[in-house]
Structure 1
Amino acid sequence: MNQSPALARRLGTFDASLIGLGSMIGAGVFAAFTPAAQAAGSGLLVGLVIAAFVAFCNATSSAQLAAAYPTSGGTYVYGRERLGPWPGFLAGWGFVIGKTASAAAMAMTFAAYAAPQGWERPVAIAAVVLLTAVNYHGVTRTAGLTRILVIAVLAALVVSLAAVWGGSGPDFGNVLGEGLLAGGWYGVLQSGGLLFFAFAGYARIATMGEEVRDPRRTIPRAITIALGITVVLYAVIAVTLLAALGPGGVAGNPTPLAAAVGNGSLGWAAPVVRVGAAVASLGALLALVAGLGRTSLAMAREHDLPHALAAVHPKYKVPHRAEVSIGVVICLIIAVADLRGAIGFSSFGVLLYYLVANIAAFTQPAEDRRYPKALQLAGAVACVVLVATLPPLSVGLGVAMFAVGIAYRWVRLRTRS
């Protein structure tokens, strides 16, 4: 691997776990249940279990790989080390392109909740500029702001749930609706794919492996802690929404948690949900910019992106050129695109990213193995199955995206040779 300045190891288990939580407990917790209910009704509970299991398989693979390869880049590095340059490139390309679109969507989600009508795009761009500047000034600043955002989001969710349960009270008879399988297995699997998108932030911990103290111990613990807390929280919210609104009510409302609070006798708490959604979007955007910068750094070190992006700031010890470049691209996307349909497009890249991670972990030798191979095999198969449930347009855009990436790398290799 090419030599370049190393990043500083400044993150412990607590801060690494918070970065994972900030990535997972983002805007998805306020919006992901609506499309899941549209696909499966009450079956979204089964979809949530499937998504959590797939996330666990992928998380254990990521943790096992990150302990063996504690450097920036996540699955891009793991794929190169275990499977070869091309699988690594495909994982990195999927992460960078898909998550850049996700970052733009998070910024626009924040603006939808926080900006006056007509000012959504300027406010979204301002949020990207601000959080890119925070990341630029060092990973401890990123972790510090993430800590504040995660605490604020959790407080908003606790107030929201307390308002629902402390008001007129949900009806548990609504939870099952017409049955868990009323939408069919395809609908259940599609809900699992949509809800998996909301879990995917634990990879952010692995992509920052070069900045974690004692990575062989810290990274697996941080991933497990962050994922465990998120699964419990999502399960509580899912049951609460179904009990308060019923499957049809969840499916028919783009802001179901706000609707559940507003329908109760403690409707005064509804603005808290809007604040929580805005703050959650900022937390996810902050972590996305950080993770994108580190993966771009790793790809630039191998010349799979322009090598100038491999620079590390001499004072702040961050990949400053990569982060600024990512920030500029996100702002351009916000300026010209409507990204409400970006989840499916991004999911295609994310699932391929984890497919490579599971296959790479499956090939690790016994001395690096922390989890049974069956988990990695199950994770790889599940990634393929969930891709098959995505809408056809998302699959088509995903295939086109990877065709562009393959052509780019092929031309670069031909030019260098």
Structure 2
Amino acid sequence: MTDSERSVSNELDRDIGLVGAIALGVGTMIAAGIFVLSGLAVSNVGAAAIISFLLAGVVAGFTALAYAEFASLYPESGGGYAYVANVFDSDLTYIVGWSIILGYPASAAFYLASFASWFERFIYPALHIPQAVPYWLSGVLVLSLLVGVNLKGTEETGMFQVVVTGLKVALIVLFLFGGLQALDMSVVRESFTGNITQFAQLGVTTTLVFITFFGFEAIATNAEEIEDPGRTIPRAIFISMGFVSVVYALVVLVIVLAINDQTFLARLAEQVGQVSGIEAAREYVATHGEVSMAYASQYYLGDIGFYVIIVGALLSMISAANATILAGSRVKLAMSRRGHLPAVFGDLSDRFNTPYASVLLTGGLILFYILVFSVLFGTPPGSESATTPLGIHLGLHSIAHFADFMLLAGLIFVNVALIQSRRKEPDLDRGFEVPLVPWIPILAILANLVLVTQVEPKALVIGLIAELVGIAFWFGYLKRTRAEDSKDIAPTIASRSQVTACERDERLLVPVARTENVEQLMATAIDVARARDAELLVMSAVTIPEQTPFERADRFVDEEETIVNEAMAFADGTGVPVQGLVRVGHHPEDIILHTLDQHDCDAVLMGWSGAGRRRRRDIVVGSTVDDVVREADADVLVERVGEVADDAIDSILVPTAGGPHAKLAGAVAAAIARTEDAPCAVVHVLDSDASDAAREAAQAVVEETAAAIDHAAVETRVLSGDDVTERLLEETANHDVTIIGATERSRLRQVVFGVLPETIGRKARNTTIMVRAQPGTTTRVARQLRRWLPGD
């Protein structure tokens, strides 16, 4: 096979399933919205806030349908901006991106301003922090931390998101468990009927809480990482939105019950220093709805439950702010690639491969919003009023309304783009199709426009000014400096050739990284593949941080394709079929495991440097190999190339203690021995004073392993030595290759092959191959269960 005949496929490591996608949506929606806006909504319209939340969910659902279709059609980062830009070949799409890149930071600023408010009210007293410390300082410090994390790159995984979301839901369930025990439907009915006719307030409240449902966008933004996006994304969006709608309705009920409870109001009057009397407490709740849930949790759950809810709420706000920073940075990346932002915002850090300029701009905008809305024109937590410049008062209400205005502007254009997409390419194969087009998107446009009209006047004016600034920035600077070659750049990785079905009985996966030692690794792979009548799948993993979208891995793919092609060339003329693959993902161990599963590989052969520390382009025991050995539902071979005098292999050592791993070691030894025409020595070490019975048993063990080596020149020996490891290390000096099977699993998690094989692998000067046979059915089930447990 020549270079022209070889092709290297490119794939994205789609590792987020339905549960992970639902966790993304629920985790983003259950944040400051549920802890802060639920109380604000109740203070506006009482129990009728349930209607506001449901209306906001329905309106969001209409646009979520469009996102679901576009995400299956264009599984790339950039969200609504990228969808509109893919449909309209016009610079007008710039204003859509501008709206979204201002709306995302406003959302994050709302989360962090809410964090600062709760931290000052509830944590300052608990930690005895002086009131002289500015209340907004905690939010700014958290923002600095999140920007730093996103500049460096995070290690957050789908399982981590599932666990964190599960903890959030557990906290809400705890709150509901305490509050619903006092359920009195007469109180709820009275509150509901007293507010349901306040149509203007219902409209304003619906717009206020709309931001809570924008979590559906987080699912679509990760489309390139979601398995079967055309099927998974729509299901995840509507399951998460339906679940959150129910949760919000129940939370509203509990808050309504609390603020209409005389005992609760009396306790609140005691807790809040400047409030005296039940009526004053009722007025306090009406003007400080953002903390109603916190006080309600203390009333129903006591002090311990109260602080559990407080800490959980603060962590939820941080998590949502972090997710929003990440999503906002990705939109800026997409805009820079099309020339709608300066090219610097598309640059990646040379050290961390993260979009540093986009992250810094996002962080700067969030800081600006916090300072303007919460500091300069805001009211400190617990204060009735404050002196502000020009007498303008903003605060949490205003920043939430501003974020809604900017995001709604973008959502309107997404629905317009869906109608145009159907007209422009009616026969395009779409993984998911919105029903009743154009009527559903038209309804979504009208509903979004209605919500825009309900934005509070101050936020509406600020939003319009922001849009005018964006237009001026475009015509005053960007349009004149835009590079012609930066327009409409589409991702290329997922569109390249794909791995074809395996034509042999088995498939052996060979991950390669550095060019050194690849020849020896491929020689072993070819021998094993020939013996097993297997095809080789040579793979290189491109790993990028969570902050960098998959399509930006193009800068690394060509280099890795070269490495894969060089490795594949060693199979030319051997009669062993070989395919190449470069796969892009966030974690090398996950990439290997998913490739094993999705391409039906029966075995994997990995190289090992012999070191214990992780390197970006080196797979080592103690990191990637450990995870693959533990989790792979396949035979695992790990080879460390030692000091070989020449290319010839003159003898092979197979230490054995019996069992399935020893049989696999024997089979691997036979494969290499047949090619090299090398003799094999199968050995077992006993104590010098071992009994005759023990020696007979040991002889039976070595003969059993030798039987697995279908090769004429096989020697069996029982060695004597007081230290098994030292005796085997002495013996390795007499052979070119040592092949050893895993021993019983150690209780120490970091030892996966067993202490003896890994010690031999590290210390032996010859080439060492450690093997672990495919686990049985019971073991495979246990491994799958462990993969779903926290901390594994």
TM (norm. structure 2) is: 0.48
8 Å Cα contact 1:348-1:395 kept in structure 2: yes
1:363 aligned to 2:420? yes
Structure 1 range deviating more: 281-290 or 361-370: 361-370
8 Å Cα contact 1:96-1:296 kept in structure 2: yes
Corresponding residue for residue 492 of structure 2: none
Corresponding residue for residue 352 of structure 1: 409
Decide which of 471, 481, 488 is 1:406's aligned counterpart: 471
Alignment partner of 1:218: what SS?
A: helix
CA distance in 2, matches of 1:91, 1:142: 30
CA distance in 1, matches of 2:160, 2:145: 12
Task: Give, in angstroms, the shift of residue 86 of structure 1.
Answer: 4.2
8 Å Cα contact 2:339-2:482 kept in structure 1: no
Corresponding residue for residue 24 of structure 1: 29
Distance 1:86 1:233, change over 3 A: farther
Decide which of 216, 239, 243 is 1:225's aligned counterpart: 239
8 Å Cα contact 2:47-2:252 kept in structure 1: no
Q: How does 1:314-333 map to 2 (within 5 A)?
A: 318-333=354-369
1:292 aligned to 2:328? yes
Task: Give, in angstroms, the shift of residue 69 of structure 1.
Answer: 1.1
Structure 1 range deviating more: 150-159 or 64-73: 150-159
CA distance in 1, matches of 2:466, 2:306: 39
Task: Give, in angstroms, the shift of residue 364 of structure 1.
Answer: 3.0
Identity of aligned residues (%): 27
Q: How does 1:196-275 map to 2 (within 5 A)?
A: 196-246=210-260, 251-252=286-287, 253-264=289-300, 266=302, 268-275=304-311
Task: Give, in angstroms, the shift of residue 131 of structure 1.
Answer: 2.6
8 Å Cα contact 1:289-1:323 kept in structure 2: yes
1:121 aligned to 2:136? yes
Task: Give, in angstroms, the shift of residue 333 of structure 1.
Answer: 4.3
Decide which of 54, 59, 71 is 1:54's aligned counterpart: 59
CA distance in 2, matches of 1:356, 1:288: 20
CA distance in 1, matches of 2:373, 2:324: 19
Task: Give, in angstroms, the shift of residue 158 of structure 1.
Answer: 1.5
CA distance in 1, matches of 2:350, 2:17: 22
Structure 1 range deviating more: 266-275 or 303-312: 266-275
8 Å Cα contact 1:171-1:244 kept in structure 2: no
Decide which of 67, 70, 73 is 2:75's aligned counterpart: 70
Give CA-to-partner distance per residue, 1:288-341, whole Å, 9 cap, x none: 011101111111111211212213457866534322332244345445651523
1:152 aligned to 2:167? yes
Question: Structure 1: which amino acid aligns with 2:442?
Answer: L
Distance 1:416 1:361, change over 3 A: closer
Decide which of 95, 103, 106 is 1:98's aligned counterpart: 103
CA distance in 2, matches of 1:123, 1:314: 31
Structure 1 range deviating more: 225-234 or 251-260: 251-260
Q: State how many pairs are aligned.
A: 411
Which consecutive unaligned segments of at least 5 residues does structure 1 have? 1-5
What CA RMSD, in Å, does the superposition of the two structures yield over aligned residues?
2.9
Give CA-to-partner distance per residue, 1:213-264, whole Å, 9 cap, x none: 4433333233223222211211221222223334978645332222323334
Give CA-to-partner distance per residue, 1:263-304, whole Å, 9 cap, x none: 347464222221122112112101101110111111111121
8 Å Cα contact 1:43-1:183 kept in structure 2: no
Task: Give, in angstroms, the shift of residue 67 of structure 1.
Answer: 1.0
Q: RCO greater where, 1 or 2, for CA within 8 Å and sep 6 or more?
A: 1
Decide which of 184, 189, 205 is 1:176's aligned counterpart: 189
Corresponding residue for residue 436 of structure 2: 372
Distance 1:375 1:318, change over 3 A: farther
Corresponding residue for residue 3 of structure 1: none
CA distance in 1, matches of 2:466, 2:252: 33
> Could you say which structure has the larger radius of gyration?
2
8 Å Cα contact 1:20-1:204 kept in structure 2: yes
8 Å Cα contact 1:40-1:188 kept in structure 2: yes
8 Å Cα contact 1:19-1:146 kept in structure 2: yes
CA distance in 2, matches of 1:9, 1:128: 30
8 Å Cα contact 2:39-2:293 kept in structure 1: no
Which consecutive unaligned segments of at least 5 residues does structure 2 have? 1-10, 125-130, 262-281, 375-394, 484-792
Corresponding residue for residue 276 of structure 1: 312
Task: Give, in angstroms, the shift of residue 73 of structure 1.
Answer: 0.7
Task: Give, in angstroms, the shift of residue 193 of structure 1.
Answer: 1.2
CA distance in 1, matches of 2:214, 2:190: 28
Distance 1:94 1:136, change over 3 A: same
Corresponding residue for residue 460 of structure 2: 395
CA distance in 2, matches of 1:50, 1:342: 21
8 Å Cα contact 1:63-1:206 kept in structure 2: yes
8 Å Cα contact 2:50-2:248 kept in structure 1: no
8 Å Cα contact 2:52-2:209 kept in structure 1: yes
Higher helix proportion:
1
Task: Give, in angstroms, the shift of residue 102 of structure 1.
Answer: 2.1
Structure 1 range deviating more: 128-137 or 402-411: 128-137
Give CA-to-partner distance per residue, 1:161-182, whole Å, 9 cap, x none: 112234xx13211112251654
Structure 1 range deviating more: 379-388 or 326-335: 326-335
Structure 1 range deviating more: 227-236 or 173-182: 173-182
Task: Give, in angstroms, the shift of residue 372 of structure 1.
Answer: 2.5
CA distance in 1, matches of 2:145, 2:251: 30
Higher strand proportion:
2
Task: Give, in angstroms, the shift of residue 186 of structure 1.
Answer: 2.0
8 Å Cα contact 1:297-1:310 kept in structure 2: yes
8 Å Cα contact 1:301-1:310 kept in structure 2: yes
Distance 1:402 1:336, change over 3 A: closer
Question: Structure 2: which amino acid aligns with 1:176?
Answer: R
Give CA-to-partner distance per residue, 1:81-119, whole Å, 9 cap, x none: 224434532222111112212212212322333353425
Alignment partner of 2:156: what SS?
A: helix
Distance 1:236 1:316, change over 3 A: farther
Structure 1 range deviating more: 373-382 or 174-183: 174-183
CA distance in 1, matches of 2:361, 2:12: 18
Decide which of 68, 75, 84 is 1:79's aligned counterpart: 84
8 Å Cα contact 1:355-1:383 kept in structure 2: yes
Task: Give, in angstroms, the shift of residue 400 of structure 1.
Answer: 0.6
